[in-house]
Structure 1
């Protein structure tokens, strides 16, 4: 019998089942927001600079390795990640890895070098003929709220495969800003707030626009007085997440082309 073709979305749903997680992946506030004015990077800003593939692989590896020592249970080849994240669809009759797998290899190399204290975010050990055993360094931070909570449906519904690096950067920032809020509860994100995320204005604006096109977030412009004694109304933009939409719907749009 020939190989049965499995879609990336089906592979993602199966990966979530294997993870053993129940509802979300939690990342500490320090993953995205600087704690000291002298800080020049965060794990998120560093991963963003390493590129879309590295950022998505790392988040997926964190999702898959919930329990210490955070070692992936399966030994997998590089083309597994290329297929899982929609970068490549191998032909069962001629399964030769192509450009997508090469992008994964470059991303894995970057993750192996560019992590906390220069030790890398992942350690890979080759098991010849099978692939790589992978151990993941999870981000450090106080085990207290607020957290960045990523719904598992972000993977199982295929959303991770249609979002760009900039959209993902903004999405994780908004999940921290709006932590604990329901979909109808929004929040303003000031330029000072954005500065603590070390995100450029252009990346923020384009990321927000992308999230709105995907249906994962929305925003509205409001007018409000800075205090109850003022009559000078200020224009503010308020952001909301569409978490229930994400959980209940599969991704429908094509991957964003950069």
Structure 2
């Protein structure tokens, strides 16, 4: 992959204008739900561009009521490294889709300029809760700002971004040096297919964002099985990606 210089410059401007200093919080239902498909899985299944665009909108909306300027489609296309010829049309189609699905809506900002307002990620049309507060508790999945400022959103595929968010949720609060196990019930709550998990964990490992440790569990009275522990290497997000090293799925994946 060539270094996307124009997209990097555009993303630099977008993160700087947000004036954000801390991590970007996504409500827990964005990543994991037991009843319906979580937002991240829903978006990436429809098209990865919609996930990346929506996540970048969330990054830019820093405080209640969670609004951001409605940028021209040419700007949106440059943010996401879309080709000049088709990029503006594709960016406009993605934004229209997010509006139609009630994930964002048009609004007017205090300065009278057109803007966008984040809505509840379940598509109900309710208000966005940037802290993840729910029934007296606070639950969210936080992505470091350097996910954008170091351009990982450009480097990773949409499905690997969804898996990365799931693994961050899985490891929330964990202090185990090798990370946490993923059981079948937990995996289903993230709404991502087995093929997506296999390919995405390989991609994350390739970029040194994930360390997977196979371990055996059980005892002599029961069948011993091999399971994986997943550890997100957050320090890698503090560096910029290697643009010269392209990832391809391992044979048989």
Superposition TM-score, scaled by structure 2 size: 0.80
Residues in 1 aligned to 2:139 and 2:192: alpha-carbon distance in whole angstroms: 19
Q: Determine the structure 2 residue equivalent to 1:166.
A: 159
Q: Does 2:232 match 1:245? A: no
Aligned to 2:20, the other structure's residue is in SS state coil
Residues in 1 aligned to 2:234 and 2:156: alpha-carbon distance in whole angstroms: 15
Identify which of 31, 40, 46 aligns with 1:44.
Answer: 40
Confirm or deny: 8 A CA contact 1:183 1:241 kept in the other structure.
Answer: no
The alpha-carbon deviation at position 6 of structure 1 amounts to 6.5
Q: Root-mean-square deviation (CA), in Å?
A: 2.8
Q: Determine the structure 1 residue equivalent to 2:94.
A: 107
1:99-146 C-alpha deviation (Å, 9 max, x unpaired): 1222111111110112xxxxx1112369xxxx9532222545535454
- Give the unaligned 5+ runs of structure 1: 91-97, 115-119
Aligned to 2:67, the other structure's residue is in SS state coil
Q: Does 2:57 match 1:70? A: no
Confirm or deny: 8 A CA contact 1:26 1:148 kept in the other structure.
Answer: yes
Residues in 1 aligned to 2:15 and 2:72: alpha-carbon distance in whole angstroms: 18
The alpha-carbon deviation at position 151 of structure 1 amounts to 0.6
Residues in 2 aligned to 1:176 and 1:103: alpha-carbon distance in whole angstroms: 31
Q: Determine the structure 2 residue equivalent to 1:85.
A: 80
Residues in 1 aligned to 2:243 and 2:154: alpha-carbon distance in whole angstroms: 10
Aligned to 1:7, the other structure's residue is in SS state helix
The alpha-carbon deviation at position 233 of structure 1 amounts to 3.0
The alpha-carbon deviation at position 77 of structure 1 amounts to 0.6
Q: How many residues align?
A: 231
Q: Determine the structure 1 residue equivalent to 2:124.
A: none
Q: Determine the structure 2 residue equivalent to 1:10.
A: 9
Residues in 1 aligned to 2:248 and 2:217: alpha-carbon distance in whole angstroms: 37
The alpha-carbon deviation at position 256 of structure 1 amounts to 7.0
The alpha-carbon deviation at position 183 of structure 1 amounts to 8.7
- Give the unaligned 5+ runs of structure 2: 122-128
The structure-2 alpha-carbon separation of the partners of 1:181 and 1:16, relative to structure 1 and needing over 3 Å to count, comes to farther
The structure-2 alpha-carbon separation of the partners of 1:18 and 1:256, relative to structure 1 and needing over 3 Å to count, comes to farther
Residues in 1 aligned to 2:176 and 2:223: alpha-carbon distance in whole angstroms: 29
Residues in 1 aligned to 2:176 and 2:203: alpha-carbon distance in whole angstroms: 18
1:211-239 C-alpha deviation (Å, 9 max, x unpaired): 1112211211111236xx85643211111
Confirm or deny: 8 A CA contact 1:146 1:179 kept in the other structure.
Answer: no
Q: Does 2:225 match 1:234? A: yes
Residues in 2 aligned to 1:173 and 1:10: alpha-carbon distance in whole angstroms: 29
The structure-2 alpha-carbon separation of the partners of 1:237 and 1:170, relative to structure 1 and needing over 3 Å to count, comes to same
